[in-house]
């Protein structure tokens, strides 16, 4: 899909142009809402990328924000059409998933479909798209007091759909996935020895097939990537976006300073972590130990 036809990049281009023009005009979101006779929440959701703006709403908004270049206006209107048309077709925007996935998670899924590179770090569990179905079920069961059965089932289904899409793109060479796991992730037997052994075998195979590149942060390395439990840093055609998850909460951050700091920290620890060969040797040893417990 050409970059200009991408719903993700198109919507991102529109909302960033709107936000930058508003800030350049020294206007608040409330002032824009009052002038356009919109609710403040509508302006916030448009600028955050939670919703797409229609071409009919975009044209007068651009006039108010003093964007008068005809080519710029035409390109933004075209982007707005693409973003809205493609958004309605996405599986993660259907009612059953919208009701059970957070806004940040849906954005993450959308960005995964467009990213050229993905850096994933976790200190507690295997990242979602790399989880086997049995591991995902065992992990989600731990949240039975916080999430309903329907929410858990939808999130498990979403992980499988994410997995199919992301790993399919990685297998085709469309996205490079760098995975950095704390040693604890490769020791924590979520689901029991049999389920966890299968999960480790899956990681081993994905690495062997060059679908992912994986490194371990050993306990002996006195360095932390971040205070957050996990994050995904995705490189798009126009910058980077950061998804952070802590317990039951998550967020999407596109601030350049924040994404830059996470990128620098990830790359620094990546160079200091156990390399691929040592990581795979550790995984093989863990599998052998788990097989003896079955």
Contacts of 131 (CB under 8 A, 6+ apart): 125, 139, 159, 163, 199
Check whether 262 has a pLDDT greater than 70.
yes
CA atoms within 13 A on the CB side of 208: 10
**What's the average model confidence in pLDDT over 18-45?**
95
pLDDT score recorded for residue 98 = 86
Structural domain ending residue among the three candidates 41, 69, 89: 89
Q: Are residues 224 and 261 in the same domain?
A: yes
- CATH number, position 36: 1.10.260
Check whether 217 has a pLDDT greater than 50.
yes
- Dist. CA 131–CA 200, nearest whole Å: 9
Q: Are residues 232 and 131 in the same domain?
A: yes
Check whether 87 has a pLDDT greater than 60.
no
**Contact by Cβ (8 Å): 178, 117:** yes
Check whether 277 has a pLDDT greater than 70.
yes
Q: Are residues 180 and 103 in the same domain?
A: yes
- pLDDT tens-digit map of 39-73: 999 999 999 887 889 999 999 999 999 999 999 99
Percent of the chain with pLDDT over 90: 67
Give residue 63's domain range.
3-89
Q: With bands split at pLDDT 50, 70 and 90, how would you rate the model's confidence at 3?
A: very low
Q: Are residues 143 and 68 in the same domain?
A: no
**What's the average model confidence in pLDDT over 154-165?**
92
pLDDT score recorded for residue 1 = 37
pLDDT score recorded for residue 50 = 78
Structurally, the chain folds into a number of domains equal to: 2
Q: Are residues 52 and 196 in the same domain?
A: no
Enclosing H/E stretch for 43: helix 40-48
Q: Are residues 101 and 72 in the same domain?
A: no
Q: Are residues 101 and 163 in the same domain?
A: yes
pLDDT score recorded for residue 4 = 45
Q: Structure tokens of 269?
A: 């620890």
Q: Which long-range contacts (CB under 8 A, 24 or more apart) does 235-241 make?
A: 235/115, 235/116, 235/117, 235/118, 236/8, 236/9, 236/12, 236/111, 236/114, 236/115, 236/116, 237/3, 237/6, 237/9, 237/114, 237/116, 238/9, 238/12, 238/13, 241/107, 241/111
**What's the average model confidence in pLDDT over 165-186?**
96
- CATH number, position 285: 3.30.870.10
Q: Structure tokens of 66?
A: 């003093």
Q: Are residues 103 and 58 in the same domain?
A: no
Q: Are residues 43 and 181 in the same domain?
A: no
Q: Are residues 125 and 32 in the same domain?
A: no
Q: Are residues 13 and 142 in the same domain?
A: no
- Dist. CA 111–CA 251, nearest whole Å: 13
Check whether 151 has a pLDDT greater than 70.
yes
- Dist. CA 139–CA 156, nearest whole Å: 10
Percent of the chain with pLDDT over 70: 93
Q: Per mean pLDDT, which range of 99-108, 120-129, 136-145, 244-253 is the poorest?
A: 244-253
**What's the average model confidence in pLDDT over 127-132?**
94
Q: Which residue has the higher pLDDT, 143 or 80?
A: 80
Check whether 31 has a pLDDT greater than 80.
yes
Structural domain ending residue among the three candidates 44, 61, 89: 89
Average pLDDT, the chain: 90
pLDDT score recorded for residue 213 = 98
Angle between helices 55-64 and 70-87 (to 10 degrees): 150
Check whether 226 has a pLDDT greater than 70.
no
Q: Are residues 167 and 45 in the same domain?
A: no
pLDDT score recorded for residue 2 = 39
Structural domain ending residue among the three candidates 63, 89, 115: 89
Check whether 162 has a pLDDT greater than 70.
yes
- Dist. CA 153–CA 157, nearest whole Å: 6
Check whether 228 has a pLDDT greater than 70.
no
Prediction pTM value = 0.82
């Amino acid at each position: 899909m050409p970059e200009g036809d991408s719903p993700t990049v198109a919507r991102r281009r529109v909302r960033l142009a709107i936000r930058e023009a508003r800030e350049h005009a020294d206007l608040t979101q409330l002032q824009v809402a009052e002038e356009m006779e919109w609710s403040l929440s509508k302006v916030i959701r448009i600028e955050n990328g939670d919703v797409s703006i229609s071409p009919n709403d975009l044209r007068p908004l651009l006039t108010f924000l003093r964007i008068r270049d005809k080519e710029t206006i035409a390109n933004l209107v075209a982007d707005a059409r693409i973003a809205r048309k493609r958004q309605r077709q996405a599986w993660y925007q259907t009612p059953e998933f919208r009701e059970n996935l957070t806004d940040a998670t849906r954005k993450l899924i959308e960005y995964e479909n467009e990213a050229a590179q993905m850096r994933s770090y976790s200190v507690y569990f295997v990242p979602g798209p790399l989880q086997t179905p049995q591991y995902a079920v065992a992990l989600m069961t731990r949240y039975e007091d916080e999430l309903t059965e329907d929410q858990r089932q939808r999130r498990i289904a979403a992980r499988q759909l994410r997995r199919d899409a992301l790993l399919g793109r990685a297998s085709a060479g469309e996205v490079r996935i760098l995975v950095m796991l704390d040693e604890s992730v490769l020791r924590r037997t979520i689901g029991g020895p049999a389920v966890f052994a299968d999960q480790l075998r899956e990681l081993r195979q994905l690495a062997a097939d060059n679908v992912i590149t994986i490194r371990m942060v050993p306990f002996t390395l006195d360095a932390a990537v971040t205070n957050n439990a996990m994050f995904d840093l995705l490189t798009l055609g126009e910058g980077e976006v950061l998804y952070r998850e802590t317990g039951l909460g998550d967020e999407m951050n596109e601030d350049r300073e924040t994404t830059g700091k996470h990128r620098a920290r990830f790359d620094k620890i990546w160079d200091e972590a156990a390399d691929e060969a040592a990581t795979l040797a550790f995984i093989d040893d863990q599998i052998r130990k788990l097989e003896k417990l079955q």
